[in-house]
Structure 1
Amino acid sequence: MPKKNYFVVSNPQGGWSVKSGGSQRASANTSTQKEAIEIGKRLATNNSSELTIQGKNGQFREKNSYGNDPHPPKG
């Protein structure tokens, strides 16, 4: 079973949403980006997946792996 990746995106009705990849419905809706990121981190950690965060300008600004990172840092 492929792992679900999660995305924090701006919500057209205002606020922020946490969505899983390929899903139309949001896993969570919040009023602040900070709350959405916290929920997204929890979901991604529980599912050993990735979290991608959209900035206020619409560009994706950050991506984090929680679990089996295919490219772990050396050292």
Structure 2
Amino acid sequence: MDNYHITKKGDKWNLTKEGNERPSKSAETKQELIEKTKEFMADKTGSVKIHKEDGKLQEERTYQRKDDPKNSKG
């Protein structure tokens, strides 16, 4: 499973695959990037860690949802 991170760099929010330097997707706002990420991950399996503006982890989402290894509703 691939790991991705949504982080802010400068005035842009970036979706970057772990190990890569260049972002896969970018947007002006975090919410816009989260929407783009849903489309980007539609045919992929991976974990997306969404970070706050200060870099701390806010939440983690698994795509595809059916591939989430946890037996939790969250």
State TM-score, norm by structure 1: 0.78
Q: How many residues align?
A: 71
How far off its partner does 1:9 sit? 0.6
Q: Distance in 2 between matches of 1:33 and 1:4?
A: 20
Which has the larger share of strand? 2
Gaps spanning 5+ residues in structure 2: where? none
Give the aligned partner of residue 6 of structure 1.
4
What code does the residue aligned with 1:36 have?
A: L
Give the aligned partner of residue 59 of structure 2.
62
Map 1:1-75 onto structure 2 (within 5 A): 3-12=1-10, 14-67=11-64, 68-73=67-72
Which has the larger share of helix? 2
Gaps spanning 5+ residues in structure 1: where? none
What code does the residue aligned with 2:27 have?
A: T
Quote the RMSD (CA, aligned, Å).
1.7
Determine which structure has more spread, i.e. the larger CA radius of gyration: 1
Cα-to-partner distance string for 1:16-55 (whole Å, 9 max, x where unaligned): 1111111110111211111111122222342121111011
> Residues 45 and 52 of structure 1: is their aligned pair in 2 closer, same or farther, counting only changes over 3 Å?
farther
